[in-house]
Structure formats: C-alpha cells, structure tokens
C-alpha cells in the first residue's frame, strides 16, 4: 500500500489539488499557509488566508491575558502576535494589489470574525494584554509620558530594535497610562461640563421640543397605551421573514 507521502507526489493528486485551488474549494485545514504571499494571485484565497491569520491573532490575544503564563511565555506570545500582525498587513497589501478591497484604509483597528475589536492593529511593535505589565515595559511608557516623548523612541533606545518598534502613532494613553485623571485635570474639566449641562437643563422649558415635532401616540398623555406583541406573534413574524428571504433567494 502506498504511503501518504507517495500519494501526495502522484500526478493525479497534484492535479486535483490545483483544480480545487482554482475553484476556491481547497480544504484550508489541510493546507499550509504559503510563506511567499506575493505568489498567491487569487483574491478569494488571499481573503481566506487573511481570515485564518485574524483567527490566530484573536486566539493569541485572548491567551496572553491568562494569569498562569510566565514572563518568558508572555514575551514569546507577544512576539508571535506582532509577527502575525505583519503577516496580516502583507496579505492586505496583496489583496489591494490584485484589485480587491482595501483593508489597509484606516487599518489602525482590527476586528475578529465576531466583530470585536482587537487592540494594537496598526503598524509597529505593540504590547498586548499582560505584556504591558512586563518588567521594564510599564516603566518605559511612564517615563515616555513624563518626558513628552513617544514610547517608540524610548523603546528604540533601550532595546535597539529600530524600525520594528516604530510606534510613533501611539502614546502612553493607548496603554492606559495617561496622567490626566491622576493629576485632576480631566476630573476638573468633567465637573465643569456637568455643571454647565445641569444649568442648561434647568433653564429649558418643560416642553422644549423643536417646531414641527409631534409626540408619538401613548407619549402625549392621550390615554393610549403601547401594545407589546406576544411571543406567538414574534415567532410568526420571524418565520415570515425567513420565508421571504428564502423566496427572494429562489427567485
């Protein structure tokens, strides 16, 4: 019986694999992500590989918050996340060059498949989760905030990593080390705004609606009441919507 490695080298196997790749039905779980991203000339394939990278980023960002990790594991995991961030950017560059959607526009934010924002989505080296509390990292951002310098400059001097640490667009507030609230400036500003808002509310008339606005039935004290649908009516409406969607697809 032929081994799996021998089957993989057969002409028929390679022909079927290429045919599946052209049709966009290749099994992503059994295929390794290509290292040479610029050689992938199919937008659907680039989209799939980018989605796989986003899944890995989301999974690793969730894991880096675990309390059981040691400092060495946190550093390694943070390096892996930054490597995936650079790979994601390269896939987005390839998709744009092939004429696909421009994911690089406003790429400072990254979202996973469930629509949750992943912090640290922009360019440069970033710190995620517990990596922000590593020895030397927290002090670096605090010192950068006091000196009025960017954390990338402090990082570049201390670690000598050059362009890989160029996070000039991020200040200490991004990492939660803003000093406005600690020195009372932000709190005093909020207190003044609250007082101004209260004075404005007290000075308004009871009926402060703009001209042309009409109250909804039940809100004007006309004796009418809002009628909430029953559970059966809600289910019937949902089934009807689903039926209409299916009819639209069929037609």
Q: How confident is the model at residue 200 (pLDDT cuts 50, 70, 90)?
A: confident
Residue recorded with tokens 């004290």: 221
According to the model, what pLDDT value does residue 241 have? Answer: 92
CATH number for domain 26-129, candidates 3.40.50.300, 1.10.287.660, 1.10.286.10, 1.10.10.60? 1.10.287.660
Mean pLDDT score of the chain: 73
16 pLDDT more than 80: no
pTM summary value: 0.45
Portion of the chain with pLDDT greater than 90, in percent:
3
Q: For the chain, which residues make up each domain, given as ranges?
A: 26-129, 135-195
Q: Where is average pLDDT lowest: 28-32, 114-118, 157-161?
A: 157-161
Pairing of strands 117-118, 110-111: antiparallel
Tens-digit pLDDT profile for residues 105-114: 755 555 554 5
Higher pLDDT, 120 or 42: 42
């Amino acid at each position: 019986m032929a081994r799996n490695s021998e089957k993989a080298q057969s002409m028929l196997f390679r022909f079927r694999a290429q045919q599946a790749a052209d049709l966009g039905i290749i099994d992503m779980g059994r295929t390794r992500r290509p290292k040479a991203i610029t050689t992938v000339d199919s937008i659907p394939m680039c989209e799939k590989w980018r989605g796989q990278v986003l899944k890995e980023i989301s999974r690793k960002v969730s894991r880096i918050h675990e309390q059981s990790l040691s400092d060495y594991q946190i550093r390694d995991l943070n390096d892996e996340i930054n490597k995936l961030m650079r790979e994601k950017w390269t896939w987005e560059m390839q998709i744009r060059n092939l004429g696909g959607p421009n994911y690089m526009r406003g790429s400072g934010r990254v979202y996973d498949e469930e629509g949750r924002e992943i912090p640290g989505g922009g360019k440069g080296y970033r710190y995620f989760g517990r990596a922000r509390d590593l020895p030397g990292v927290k002090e670096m951002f605090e010192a950068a905030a006091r000196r009025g310098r960017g954390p990338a400059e402090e990082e570049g001097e201390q670690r000598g990593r050059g362009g890989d640490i160029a996070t000039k667009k991020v200040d200490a507030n991004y990492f939660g080390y803003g000093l406005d609230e600690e020195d009372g400036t932000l709190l005093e500003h909020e207190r003044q705004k609250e007082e101004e808002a209260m004075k404005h509310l007290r000075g308004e008339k009871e009926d402060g609606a703009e001209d042309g606005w009409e109250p909804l039935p039940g809100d004007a004290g006309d004796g009418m009441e809002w009628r909430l649908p029953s559970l059966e009516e809600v289910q019937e409406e949902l089934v009807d919507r689903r039926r209409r969607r299916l009819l639209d697809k069929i037609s």
